[in-house]
Structure 1
Amino acid sequence: MTTDHPRIDAGTAPAIDTDSEVLIVGAGPAGLMLANLLGMYGRRVTVLEAMDRLIDYPRGVGLDDESFRTIQTVGLVDAIRPHTTPQHIMRLVNGAGKVILVNNPQTDEFGWHRKHGFIQPEADKALYEGLARFDHVRVLFGHRVEDVRETADGVTATALVARPGGGVEERLFRAQYLVGCEGGKSPTRKRLGVTFEGESPSTRWLVVDVNNDPLGTPNVFLGADPKRPYVSIGLPHAVRRWEFMLHDDETEEQVTDPEYVNALLRDHVPDPTKLDFIRRRVFTHHARVAGNFRTGRQLIAGDAAHLMPVWMGQGWNSGMRDATNLGWKLAAVLSGQAGDALLDTFTSERKEHAQAMVDLSLTFGNFIKITHPVLAAGRDAAASLLNLFPSVKSYFSDMKFKPMPRYTRGVLADPNSQASGRATARLTSKLIPVLSANTKVSPVGVQFPQPRVNSRHGENVLLDDVVGNWWSVVVWGNNPKDVLPAESLEKLAGLGARLVCILPETQRGWAEQNMGDDVLVLGDHTGRMKKWFDDRPTPMVFLRPDRFVAGACLTQNGPATLDAILRSMAFTGRGAAPGRVAVPHDARSLLG
């Protein structure tokens, strides 16, 4: 990885750098994670960043379990975990300081706590430093992309670079694809002419970050105070954040004045003048989603594709979801294993959920920032009443209101008809195993759980660390080679899919002796996998590299389901599988 700025003599045409398969514009979290994923898959990547260094002040404060699963995939758990507070509890309090709602989810179905507080600059730095593991990935700071020219077989980006002696020079970079991750004002999105629909609510907020947390409480308080709604957040490394809603007549110059800030903080700390301030900044929430995430050989991800109001802490996490979805698809296309049409599924899979998170964040924000005293009193009374009902209380406490990603169009096979490229959310078969199942909700299009399992490679290990970072076929109790025909097994070999059998720990030794070395046998010593398969009439699961279920079926429907999945991803049958690249990490002992 290098940050040097090569000089091109004036009067000569810039040489074209052709060392990359993918150009990523922007060294923010989405771009850095995408570079890590592509580096893990052995792809050649250049990240072009206009600034001369990473941003070093706090921004995002919430990291969820889906993001941690991706961090685990790229082997950076040990680097990022020290900068997090697991199980970050949120309490909604009214104007009198009374708690009216608590959000404290206890679930860990994806292998990690549902919510973490975190220090974004430290996490971003870990993502950046993680790229040093890959000789074929580089980050070039001080490279501002000014123009992109696209042809049938690639893109050429023109970047302006400051000369050491003054002035600027041009550098040209050629690659097969370009991904714009430059934030909400994304020049890539604007050059493509993609719409960015939504709203920017007129409400402004003052954010205040301080060192040496004067309160010391490790969690989050959302102050639904009609006089001035506020947020108080305890973060790792003794950082405290406050956010205060501003009134229309308050100017930015006024509210960032130290004396004015101190006055806002007097209800929160005994002596605001003794605080160690990191920054004071006014911001406006934005709620926008791009009309399309891909045009030709150029794509957008992260804030360039969607802007989230801060209420649900989903801005950073939505960028991680984009990178997780796009990384394996670019790798499959670049390896020749899949056709270019696979990249169209990036929009069809990610756009709908991004919009759902924007809408939820807006709704939650409107609930908190009520300033009319009568309406605020009604809200508080309704919240107190709803807390009397355990099911409603659990709905908020366990964060069940947060829509989990469910893909209905994309790299999928319908669980009922085995149709390609789409999946209904319910199982409708009239077969007795389906009619008698505990749930009719289909697992296709959602993330597969990540329990701990035992195998010959180690005990009490997180599932993803055993099955690896590419495709897998997971079968409960059966040998995949016995329930799939030779033709399907040949296709799976071409896909690079791992054959996996999960069964009770009591049977693992027998299965390891009888199924052969080409089947990964996993012992379900916790019983969590047994319950998952017991609830669903889908003993065969086709698991994508991003841990989403592409297909799930009875074993006799396995061949048709596999064929539908391969069609949906424009599988070519050519090219080597890009997965199974070893990435040094040690996540196996965590969360135990």
Structure 2
Amino acid sequence: MTTQPTTSATNQVTLDTDVVVIGAGPVGLTLANLLGVRGHRATVLEARAELIDYPRGVGLDDESIRTLRTAGLWERIEQFTVPHHVVRLVNGRGQVLATNDPQTQEFGFPRKHGFNQPVVDRELAAGLDRFPGTELRFGHRVVGIEDRGDHVRVTAERVGPDGATEIVEVTGRYVVGCEGGGSFTRKWMGVEFEGKSPSTRWVVVDVENDPIGSPNVYLGADPKRPYVTIGLPQGIRRWEFMLHDDEPTELVEDRAFMNRLLERFVPDPDALQIINQRTFTHHGRVATSFRQGNVLIAGDAAHLMPVWLGQGWNSGMRDATNLAWKLSAVLRGDAEDALLDTYTTERHKHAADMIEVNMAAGSIMKMKPLGGWIRDRVATALNVVPTWKSYFTELRFKPMPRYAEGVVVDQVTLEPGRARPGLRGGRLAPLVDSAGETSPVGLQFIQPRVNTAEGRDVLLDDVTGDWWALATWGTDPTAFLSAADLALVQRHDIRLLAFVPETQREWAEKQYADAPVPVTVVGDTSGALKRWFDVRACGLVVLRPDHFVAAAALNQQAPQALAAVAAAGSLRTDAAAPADTPAPTPADTPAEMGALA
């Protein structure tokens, strides 16, 4: 599949691929894996000689696990995580002001995990070996990008074995810059990088053979010196300390100074085996656009996230998840190029909202004595009220991604491209009082365990797959679809599902066996799917490849909902067969599919 490299007399190498990914951080590696799973080629260019070997990110969300499972890597990565990572905000006296310990598993996994980033990154890199035509090239520093309309040419410099500089040119349909905050790609695009970069410096210290053993996270809002201490997998303990303005950065190289910071926590700081130590400042910035022509950016290249809520790594995963299926749809010939414009539309707002929440969390951490005194008393009062206490415990302050514009359809009007959160109006009025006034469109769909004819007690994503799906509650999803609608379903490999109570599954399998296109009957064993539809004013959902709800409607509105999704997603409606690359079904996706066997 890969065009063989050719070397010219002028020491120049030329390569060709589908997508050029610049940067072998977690976002670039994940994006390349997601493209590979869907049958596309990617060439990852990394300026460094090897992956970064020190821990950076420490928090992994359930949303990211869904992405890693889609990439077929979660089974290999899970061993490097700690599920149910509890975060406690404490003051200078050690009093717990707030506890973050969400118990929900609506997306199939515990909400928060601690993880060890270097070993996870290595698994992401190793995952690329599964895909013919995909490769990771170290020591390639990108120095030029040229968008030629129908493709992009990327120029990189590489020092060869003989010490001579080698010019490597890679052509691809698209380029995605994932090379971090100093992104060459973003600067080439010429977009603004808006936000703040506080001057406050922090020193981070990672040690092996955790001398404390507490498995969770403490955010120390101590007015004298804010700190963080974190238990990580594989026996690693992390501390982070704020440096005062009168303390030079060079001071952290003095072991005696570091020992004074650590002696509050351990009896013998001099015996600690430090494996990583560095200083950093927190940034809160977001690019004004994530796309220019055939060139896009993702992760830290698109937005810099303060570390407080562990969302830098996860925000990058959300970018890769959102962008990968859209690139795939365009490369397959399923969608027009305009689909890629929805990437900025959908991801920019949530990234900006997450930055604001993180900046606010940092302000709470760094309060001076008077502000800290007021904060402590307010927190104590709020903890007495169950509703406010759960606001922190269940992570409700964290903005979940909700796409109000993009590949979404308004539930009331079925207008493509926009989705209001409210439901008042039209035929939905009789359902709103019992179902609630909030539309599920633009939100992630739940992932309970279910039964099918092929598997028992499997996660729903294993059944829906990683492409489009149309699901109804309690009825045949083809009942209201015309021949033209069914042609569109087949054109875009839309999987049709009937969600039914487990008690009705065998009946439904027989009843729908002669449907005009295949219908997968899903047995709701826990009642989670029934409860979901019971409090939403719909009987049908169209799920995007990233498991977000593109449309929700009454069953009889299936044709209108399907047509609106096609319009919102710039999907081609011609009768031609899809492009060379077929959409994978759950059975042939290289994910952990053993449960379906």
- Does residue 291 (structure 1) correspond to residue 295 (structure 2)? The answer is no
Match of 2:10? 11
> Match of 2:207?
210
Deviation of the 1:15 alpha carbon: 4.8
Question: Is the CA contact (8 Å cut-off) linking 2:409 and 2:418 kept in structure 1?
Answer: yes
Identity of aligned residues (%): 53
| Structure 2 unaligned blocks of 5 or more | none
Listed as ranges, the matches of 1:167-566 within 5 Å are 167-370=164-367, 372-431=368-427, 432-516=429-513, 518-566=518-566
Asked if the contact 2:5–2:13 (Cα under 8 Å) also holds between the matched residues in 1, the reply is no
Specify every segment of 5 or more residues in structure 1 that has no aligned partner in the other structure, as ranges: none
- Give 1:485 deviation, angstroms: 2.2
CA RMSD of aligned residues (A): 1.7
Q: CA deviation at 1:484?
A: 2.0
Amino acid at match of 1:580: P
1:79 corresponding residue in structure 2: 76
* 1:10 CA drift (Å): 5.3
* Paired AA for residue 529 in structure 1: L
Match of 1:513, SS?
helix
Aligned equivalents of 1:587, 1:287: Cα separation in 2:
39
Q: Which moved more, 1:421-430 or 1:58-67?
A: 421-430
**Local SS of the residue matching 1:81:** helix
Q: Deviations over 1:132-166 (max 9, x none)?
A: 11112111111111101111211011111111111
Contact 1:462 1:588 in 2 (8 A): no
3-state SS of 1:311 partner? coil
Closer/same/farther in 2, CA of residues 586 and 559 from structure 1, 3 Å limit: same
**Do 1:461 and 1:588's aligned partners in 2 also have CA atoms closer than 8 Å?**
no
Assess, with a 3 A threshold, how the Cα gap between structure 1 residues 15 and 164 changes in structure 2: closer, same or farther. closer
SS in 2 for 1:67: helix
- Alignment partner of 2:56: what SS? coil
**TM-score scaled to structure 1, two decimals?**
0.96
Q: Distance in 1 between matches of 2:491 and 2:527?
A: 32
The offset of 1:437, in angstroms, is 2.8
Q: Summarize deviations over 1:268-326 as a string: whole Å, max 9, x none.
A: 00000100101221100000000000000000000000000000100110110000000
Cα distance in 2 for residues equivalent to 1:236 and 1:15: 41
- Contact 1:92–1:100 at 8 Å: present in 2 too? yes
Q: Offset at 1:430?
A: 4.3
Q: Does structure 2 retain, via aligned residues, the 8 Å contact 1:434–1:440?
A: no
CA distance in 1, matches of 2:128, 2:359: 35
What is the CA–CA distance in structure 2 between the aligned matches of 1:271 and 1:587, rounded to whole Å?
Answer: 48
| Residue equivalent to 1:47 | 44
Secondary structure (helix, strand or coil) at the match of 2:66 reads helix
Matches of 2:594 and 2:97, distance apart in 1: 38
Residue by residue, what CA displacement relative to the aligned partner does 1:477-508 show, whole Å, maximum 9, x if unpaired? 11011122222121111111000000000000
Distance 1:215 1:250 in 2: 27
Structure 2 CA distance for partners of 1:548 and 1:232, relative to 1, 3 Å: same
What SS does structure 1 have at the residue aligned with 2:537? coil
Residue 115 (1) aligns with residue 112 (2): yes
For residues 31-87 of structure 1, give each alpha carbon's deviation from its aligned partner in whole angstroms, at most 9, with x where no partner exists: 011001100110111111111111111100000010011111111111110000000
The 2-side partners of 1:66 and 1:589 are apart by 21
CA contact (8 A) 1:8 1:169 kept: no
Question: 1:541 & 1:58 partners in 2: Cα distance?
Answer: 40
Cα shift at 1:589? 6.2
Residues 122 and 15 (structure 1), Cα distance of their counterparts in 2 relative to 1, 3 Å cut:
closer
Question: Partners of 1:16 and 1:261 in 2: how far apart?
Answer: 49
**Cα separation, partners in 2 of 1:567 and 1:210, compared to 1, 3 Å:** same
Question: Mean alpha-carbon deviation: is it higher for 480-489 or for 102-111?
Answer: 480-489
Q: CA–CA distance in 2 between the matches of 1:249 and 1:430?
A: 63
What corresponds to 1:24 in structure 2? 21
Alignment-derived partner of residue 580 in structure 1: 584
> How many angstroms apart in 2 are the aligned matches of 1:256 and 1:406?
44
Cα gap change, 1:75/1:15 in structure 2, threshold over 3 Å: closer, same or farther?
closer
Task: State the Cα distance separating 1:6 from its structure 2 match.
Answer: 7.6
- Is the contact made by 2:141 and 2:157 (CA closer than 8 Å) also made in structure 1? yes
More displaced stretch, 68-77 vs 302-311: 68-77
Shift of residue 438, structure 1, vs aligned partner: 2.5
Alpha-carbon shift at residue 9 of structure 1 (Å): 5.8
Deviations for 1:220-261, whole angstroms, at most 9, x for unmatched residues?
001111100100000000000000011001111112311110
Contact 2:5 2:15 (C-alpha < 8 Å) held by counterparts: no
Q: SS of 1:113's equivalent?
A: coil
Distance 1:150 1:171 in 2: 16
- Taking the aligned partners of 1:144 and 1:15, their CA distance within structure 2 comes to 14
Q: State the 1:7 CA deviation.
A: 9.0
In 2, the alpha carbon distance for the partners of 1:397 and 1:587 equals 33
Q: State the 1:109 CA deviation.
A: 0.5
In 2, Cα distance between equivalents of 1:174 and 1:437: 55
Aligned partner of 2:571 in structure 1 is: 571
Deviation sequence 1:79-104 (CA, Å, 0-9, x none): 11000000000111111111121110
> One-letter code of the match for 1:561?
A
SS in 2 for 1:480: coil
Q: 2:240 & 2:168 partners in 1: Cα distance?
A: 42
Q: Distance in 2 between matches of 1:123 and 1:583?
A: 21
The residue number in structure 2 matching 1:148 is 145
Amino acid in structure 1 at the alignment position of 2:477: P
Does the 8 Å contact 1:78/1:587 carry over to 2? no
Does 488-497 or 566-575 show the bigger shift? 566-575
Shift of 1:557: 1.7
SS in 2 for 1:481: coil
Quick check: 1:35 aligned with 2:32?
Answer: yes
Structure 1, residues 384-438: CA drift from partner, whole Å, max 9, x if none?
1110000100110000110000001101111111111111111123435423333
